[in-house]
């Protein structure tokens, strides 16, 4: 009798332990699956920050599966875009499986790009966003408005992620934006622009982004941010007229490839000329002097002022700004990073 009772109790204990063990395993798998689902949401948010167009209206085709190392655990995710008056909103779903148990997680997020506000906070003299729909190039600072000339292709996809603001496309022949006789005096200057070059530059292999000059000679420029070609590669170039002499700075690193957006800056701080590409310094040399002015010489975006076909830009230009002071390296890094938006979680759904 005792043997039977002991045997029965032992079997009951083993069954109970087995149930508890299975429950523990299931709980661990459920917890792991939940963490993986949340990782899927993080993955979706990362892609949303770096390129939301790739996620638009993808609910019918999930991304993934993305598997963890050394196991069959995996997650997939979806995203649906819904623009409204408050900004761009996306609903994100993620689903993960671990040990046969599936969990999900979802949230609604808002994508916000603060590049424009950051530029304005640094007090530019002029700021042309180039998202205009007519012949008038608006200056956010209301100082120097421009005129689109010769059929510039407006409304092109812009350089900033998470905003509908557009860019201007230049044909590399005779298109430019006339800024009149814009002058920048004093002892410091910064030029900013976002650029995307086409595969070829017709004619002269230089391309002017923003320029004030009366000719194409080395001493004809008052200031210029542009590019130059060296051994089949394209790099940034900066010219500025100091104390009656035009100084020239050419980058030899920081190649500008066709079809890609680049954040460019030319800075003169009173003692040094510098060029920056995507927030990183690519050229510098010591120079001092006062920036010369001349109200009879015109300035242009997208080409050299002397002759409409001289050194034109071929590609897109966006977010052009001029400052009468030198932006710091830290500020330029901040601006480059601001190309990518911030994400605010509007609502967690579980």
Domain range summary for the chain, segments of one domain joined by +: 29-112, 115-337
Q: Alpha-carbon distance 335 to 243, whole Å?
A: 31
> Between the CA atoms of 182, 186, 190 and 193, what dihedral angle is there, to the nearest 10 degrees?
0
Higher-confidence residue of 23 and 167: namely 167
Tokens coding 30: 């459920």
Q: Alpha-carbon distance 238 to 273, whole Å?
A: 8
Tokens coding 337: 């990073």
Average pLDDT over residues 177-185: 95
Task: Specify which residues 97 forms β-bridges with.
Answer: 74, 102
Residue 350: closest CA among 86, 5, 95: 95
Q: Alpha-carbon distance 193 to 257, whole Å?
A: 16
**Tens of pLDDT, residues 112-133:** 899 999 999 999 999 999 999 9
Q: Alpha-carbon distance 336 to 38, whole Å?
A: 29
pLDDT at 204: 59
DSSP letter (8 states) at residue 138: -
Task: Specify which residues 262 forms β-bridges with.
Answer: 195
pLDDT at 4: 42
H or E stretch at 47 = helix 2-50
Could you tell me which residues come within 8 angstroms of residue 326 by beta carbon, excluding any fewer than 6 positions away? 188, 189, 190, 267, 268, 269, 270
pLDDT exceeding 70 applies to what percent of the chain? 87
Instruction: Provide the phi-psi class of 299: left if phi over 0, else alpha when psi is between -120 and 50, else beta.
Output: beta
Q: Alpha-carbon distance 64 to 130, whole Å?
A: 38
57 falls in which pLDDT band (50, 70, 90)?
low
Q: How far is CA 74 from CA 30, 97, 98, 312, in A?
A: 13, 6, 7, 51
> Which residue bears the tokens 């030198």?
326
Is the pLDDT at 261 greater than 90, yes or no? yes
pLDDT at 346: 86
What is the value of pTM for the model shown?
0.82
Q: Cis omega (within 30 of 0) on the bond before 65?
A: yes
Flag the least confident range among 139-143, 291-295, 311-315: 311-315
Contact 316, 199 (CB under 8 A): no
Q: Alpha-carbon distance 337 to 320, whole Å?
A: 16
Of the chain, the end-to-end C-alpha distance in Å amounts to: 55
Contact 76, 111 (CB under 8 A): no
Is the pLDDT at 181 greater than 80, yes or no? yes
Higher-confidence residue of 8 and 246: namely 246
Tokens coding 276: 């920056």
Please state which CATH number belongs to domain 115-337: 2.60.120.200
Q: Cβ–Cβ contacts within 10 Å for residue 248, how many?
A: 16
Contact 173, 202 (CB under 8 A): yes
Higher-confidence residue of 295 and 71: namely 295
pLDDT at 310: 79
Contact 207, 227 (CB under 8 A): yes
Is the pLDDT at 96 greater than 70, yes or no? yes
Is the pLDDT at 251 greater than 50, yes or no? yes
Is the pLDDT at 10 greater than 60, yes or no? no
């Amino acid at each position: 009798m005792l043997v039977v009772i002991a045997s029965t109790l032992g079997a009951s204990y083993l069954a109970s332990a087995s149930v508890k063990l299975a429950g523990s395993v299931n709980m661990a798998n459920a917890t792991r699956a939940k963490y993986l689902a949340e990782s899927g949401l993080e993955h979706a948010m990362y892609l949303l920050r770096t390129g939301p167009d790739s996620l638009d209206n993808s609910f019918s085709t999930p991304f993934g599966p993305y598997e963890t190392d050394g196991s069959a655990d995996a997650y997939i995710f979806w995203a649906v875009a819904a623009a409204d008056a408050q900004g761009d909103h996306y609903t994100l779903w993620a689903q993960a499986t671990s040990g046969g148990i599936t969990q999900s997680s979802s949230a609604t997020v808002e994508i916000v790009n603060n590049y424009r506000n950051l530029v304005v906070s640094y007090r530019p003299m002029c700021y042309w966003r180039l998202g205009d729909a007519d012949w008038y190039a608006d200056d956010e600072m209301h100082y120097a408005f421009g005129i689109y000339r010769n059929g510039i292709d407006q409304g092109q996809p812009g350089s900033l992620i998470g905003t509908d603001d557009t860019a201007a496309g230049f044909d590399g022949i005779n298109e430019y934006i006339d800024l009149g006789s814009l002058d920048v005096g004093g002892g410091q200057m910064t030029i900013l622009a976002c650029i995307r070059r086409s595969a070829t530059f017709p004619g002269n292999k230089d391309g002017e982004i923003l320029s004030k000059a009366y000719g194409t000679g080395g001493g004809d420029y008052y200031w210029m941010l542009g590019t130059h070609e060296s051994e089949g590669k394209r790099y940034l170039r900066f010219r500025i007229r100091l104390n009656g002499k035009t100084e020239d700075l050419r980058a030899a690193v920081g190649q500008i490839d066709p079809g890609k957006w680049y954040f460019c800056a030319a800075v003169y701080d009173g003692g040094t000329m510098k060029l920056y590409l995507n927030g990183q310094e690519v050229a510098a040399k010591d120079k001092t002097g006062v920036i010369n002015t001349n109200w009879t010489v015109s300035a242009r975006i997208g080409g050299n002022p002397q002759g409409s076909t001289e050194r034109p830009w071929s590609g897109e230009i966006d977010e052009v700004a001029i400052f009468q002071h030198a932006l710091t390296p830290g500020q330029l890094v901040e601006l480059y990073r601001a190309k990518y938006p911030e994400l605010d979680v509007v609502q967690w759904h579980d």
